[in-house]
Amino acid sequence: MFPITVKYSTFARFQADVGIHGNNEADTAAKSALEFEIVKFKIPSTDLKHFIKLYINSLWQIFWDFCDTSKLYSIQNKVNIPYNFNLKRSDQVVISRIRIGHSKLTHTYLLKGEQQPECIFCDCPLTLHHIFLECPDTLPARNSLLNNVQTMQDLFTQVNISDILQFLQECDFYNKIYFFFYTFIFFIILILKFYARRMGR
Ligand SMILES: [Zn+2]
């Protein structure tokens, strides 16, 4: 590497179109268009597609912001982020369960009317948050595969999905999270919460 010392600097201001042939004519022609009569004409509907998409996304975002207490909101608070990990079906289901924070392992008790399951190592409520971020029993696998992340949002932004799945396999949680239809019920609860807030205003 060679040291470089700059002793003097010179600044100069130029007009961008000076010396460029045809620029003045182009500017004059553009300004003359302001004097033309406004003409109505049809445009293809596809030209509006982008703006319609933006509008729908903004409505969707408003709806989603009402769900700011949900576990998924803490992971993903913007609705227009593509979510496509190109996984096989069972892996997609497992990852979705983790993202929404509801799984067979942690939420079957609600349907069965039983006590909430506890971690056998910590005697605290068994949640996905506990498994991925807190439990000392999973710490070695977290250190080696999950970079010991501190939040669920970091888990999905800083860790490869394949490592998350491997972590579940090594800790024997994969099959306990798979095979569950709680997602449907979860979204029903979200919708009911949304309308309950609207009615309470
Ligand atoms: Zn634990």
Ligand 1 center to residue 64 CA distance, Å? 31
Instruction: Please give the pLDDT value at position 1.
Output: 43
Instruction: Please give the pLDDT value at position 4.
Output: 46
Ligand 1 center to residue 130 CA distance, Å? 6
Considering 6-10, 16-20, 129-133, 195-199, the range whose residues carry the highest mean pLDDT is 129-133
Instruction: Please give the pLDDT value at position 177.
Output: 84
Cα dihedral sign, 111-116-119-125 = positive
- The token duo for 97 is 């369960």
Ligand 1 center to residue 15 CA distance, Å? 68
Who wins on pLDDT, 41 or 125? 125
Question: CA–CA distance from 147 to each of 28, 94, 113, 167, 172 (Å)?
Answer: 61, 20, 36, 11, 19
How far is 56 from 128, CA to CA, in rounded Å?
32
Instruction: Please give the pLDDT value at position 22.
Output: 77
Ligand 1 center to residue 87 CA distance, Å? 28
DSSP states of 87-107 as a string? --HHHHHHHHHHHHT--HHHH
Count how many Cα atoms sit within 13 Å of the Cα of residue 116 in the half-sphere of its side chain. 12
Predicted confidence (pLDDT) per residue in 126-165, tens digit: 999 999 999 999 999 999 999 889 888 888 888 999 999 9
Tokens 């997602």: give the residue.
183
pLDDT band, very low/low/confident/very high, at 181 (cuts 50, 70, 90)? low
> What does the pLDDT average to over 54-80?
85
Ligand 1 center to residue 129 CA distance, Å? 10
> What does the pLDDT average to over 99-122?
86
Judge contact between 104 and 176, C-beta under 8 A.
yes
Instruction: Please give the pLDDT value at position 19.
Output: 65
